[in-house]
Every structure is written in structure tokens, then in C-alpha cells.
Structure 1
Amino acid sequence: MASKEDIRSSRRLHRRTLSPEQIAAAGASIAQHGTAWAAAASSGTAATFAVYVGVAFEPPTLPLIHSLHDAGHKILLPVCEPGRQLSWVYWTPSTVFVRSSYAPIDEPEGERLESEVVAGAAGIFMPATAVDRDGNRIGQGGGYYDRLLHGLDDSGRRPPTIAVVYDDDLLPSGSIPAEAFDRPVREVLTPSGLVRLDDRAQ
């Protein structure tokens, strides 16, 4: 079995082969399918969702963010904090982004809320470089989201989670080594649609 770092590097290299047109088309499809998932997760009512901004060759999520907003939902975006922790800012179309102090990304300006606010969300859209069909996920290597899910699991208030990847980033069962700290996902959002994984993923 390949190591997480080898898989992460391989998927990043593959993503760099995608054309701007392919990336844009993926973003549009992810917005469509992701908004449908949000409608089901919120029982068709306006709710709050934790999302993130896909950067560089990641699956684009700004179309999803705008689509969720247009559907009446509130959007929480993450901000990297010391100790690999996340805080959260409510996004609006007028939100200003600034360079992160802790990661090579731009982050929203605004009142920073602790991660407990995510416990009240209807769902969490999570970044990933790969997911296998057992629900094991590889993120960007910082461990921010595993820490977030660990805290939500400990509180017993974890909302539904869905990892966002390209179609080719969904790997066969057993492809990703699982560690004790990892928190599997049960659903994956790809440009081709929603994929529900093995029920062993919690």
C-alpha cells in the first residue's frame, strides 16, 4: 500500500494535468450536486453549511458557495489558527479575503468563531486530495479537519460530512492507510455526482 504522502503527491500531479476548461466544468457540476446534497441535508429549509475555498488545482468550490447562498443558506468558511486549529467566519458576497498567516491560502476577514459553531451546521463540505471506498480520506497534510471532526465526535454533535474530490480521486477500498486519528467520511461529492460509501465509515 502506498503511503499517504505518495498518494497525495500523485493526486496533486494528476490534478495539474487538468485544463482550465475541465476545472471550470468540474466546479459547475460540483455546485449542482453539492446544492442538491445540501437541500437533502437541510430537509429543504435554509440552513448553515461549513464549506472551504478550493485553490489552485483543487476542485473549485466558489460556484458551490454562491449556489448555496443563492438557495438561502448561510456559509461558514475556515480560518487556520495556531495548533492546527480552525476558526470560522460567515461568508457573504462582499467578504474580503486576506493571506493566511499559517497556510498558503487566502482566508475570509470577519468575526472569527470557534469550531463549536460548526456543530450547529447542517453539513460540512471537506477538502480532500483522495478518498477510498472505505471512507478513508487524505487531506492537505495539516490535520486541521481531522482535529475538527475529532472534537465534534467527542461532543456528539458532528453534522453530516462530505468530501469534495475529482472523479479520479475516489480510490478502491484499502487504498489509503488508516490511522487512529483519522476520521472517515461516508459521502463523497465529485463532478459526476454524489457517492455514498461503505457504512463502516463513521
Structure 2
Amino acid sequence: MNHFERTRDTGKRTLRRHLLTVRERLPGDVVRDAGRALAEQALELPELARARTVAAYVSVGSEPGTIALLDTLRARGVRVLLPALLPDNDLDWGAYDGEGSLARVRRGGRMTLFEPSGEPLGPDAVTGAEVVLLPGLAVDARGMRLGRGGGSYDRVLARLDRAGARPALVVLLYDTEVLERVPTEPHDRAVQAVVTPSGVRRFGGSAPQ
């Protein structure tokens, strides 16, 4: 790793720590209200309105809430896929059939996750989604997303590229997490849009197809 790469990596770690600290200080009612508002904004996306399969995730802790969004998509007849973390940090996928279909899982010393308890569909199942909703900590004016650093979604995006899949990539964040610029690496890939409790922002001149 050269000096530039080390500096960039340090910048990512510092920014992640700051953003996580801010999130952890959010009151519970703010997190709940943000989840409801986020669902209302996301459901206005044309990409979600016509999607038959959506890859999403279950929010944990002080992440912007996703359950209201998942339940509404499912009620619309959308097939919702949720990730299950594999030992190598890759992601398997399973179908969401309501909150009762989720298993509470603790992966080593990491945070407790909520994963689909049904039949594993395999890591390639994500390639059939028309929309992929991504977790993150921030996004910048170019649409570059800052994740938690585990690399799981880097693998997902690489798998989509290899398969020639071109789903809409949408990150779900708080309003304060849309920044002017975040540190990036060559493999990082821009998203088409960010949804926050106050609205939707598109990047790179992207428009719904």
C-alpha cells in the first residue's frame, strides 16, 4: 500500500467513526420517524414502482429504518430479497415473508443482524433484482457511497458486473449523510440515487428508465 492509499484508507476510517458516533447518539423516536419518512420517499421512486424483485436489507441499531419499506413492497406483490452474511463476508440471499420470517443472528463479535430464515437462494440471486437498496454511512455529490468497510457489498456489486446485471442502485441514508465528497478507491461504484427522509437525489444525470 503506497502513501496515497494509506492516507485514503485512514480518511475512510476516520469518517466512518464520526458518522457512526453521530448515528449512535440519535434518539429512538428520531430513528423511528426517519424510517417512516424514508419509506414514503422511497416508494415514490419509479424504479421501485415497477420492480418485481428488490434486493434490500433489514436495518439494525440506529440505521435508517427499512421494515416499513420492506412490508409495503411485499404488500404490493414485490419479491423482496434479504442478505445473509457468509463466513467469508460474502452475502447469500433469501426471501422476505414478513417480520416473522427473520432470524436474529449474531456473527462472532459483530452486531446482531436480522437475516431471512427460509431457504438460501445463493449469492447469485441478487443478479435477478431490478433494484438493489444499499446500506451505507454516506454518499457524496458524485454518487459515491461510503460503506462500513466490511466489503460485503463490494462483492455484490462485482457480482452484478460479472453477470451483466444493471439494477438501479439506491442508498438509504439520513439527510446529514449526503456529503460533498467521501474518500474512494478504484473499485468503488457510484449509485444512481440516495433516498433520505426529506427526499430523493439522483446522481450523474441518472433518470428512471
- TM-score (norm. length: structure 2): 0.86
Query: Aligned partner of 1:177: which letter?
Result: P
Unmatched segments (≥5 aa) in structure 2? 1-7
Distance 2:163 2:127 in 1: 9
Structure 1 segment 90-109 matched on structure 2, within 5 A: 90-93=95-98, 94-101=100-107, 103-104=110-111, 105-109=113-117
Work out whether 1:5 is the aligned partner of 2:13: yes
Q: Which runs of 4+ in 1 moved over 6 A?
A: none
Q: Where does residue 155 of structure 2 map in the other structure? A: 147
- Secondary structure of residue in 1 paired with 2:158: helix
SS at match of 1:22: helix
Q: Which residue of 2 aligns with 1:60?
A: 65
RMSD: 1.8
* Equivalence for 2:143: 135
For the Cα contact (< 8 Å) 1:87–1:114, is it kept in 2? yes
What percent identity do the matched residue pairs reach?
34
Matches within 5 A, 1:1-202: 3-37=11-45, 40-41=46-47, 44-45=49-50, 47-93=52-98, 94-101=100-107, 103-104=110-111, 105-172=113-180, 175-199=181-205
C-alpha deviation, 1:158, in angstroms: 2.7
- Cα separation, 1, equivalents of 2:51 and 2:166: 19
Q: Calculate the TM-score normalised by the size of structure 1.
A: 0.89
1:66-109 CA-partner distances (Å, limit 9, x unpaired): 11112221110000112221100001123031314364223221
Runs of at least 5 residues in structure 1 that lack an aligned partner in the other structure: none
Change (3 A) 1:100 1:79: farther
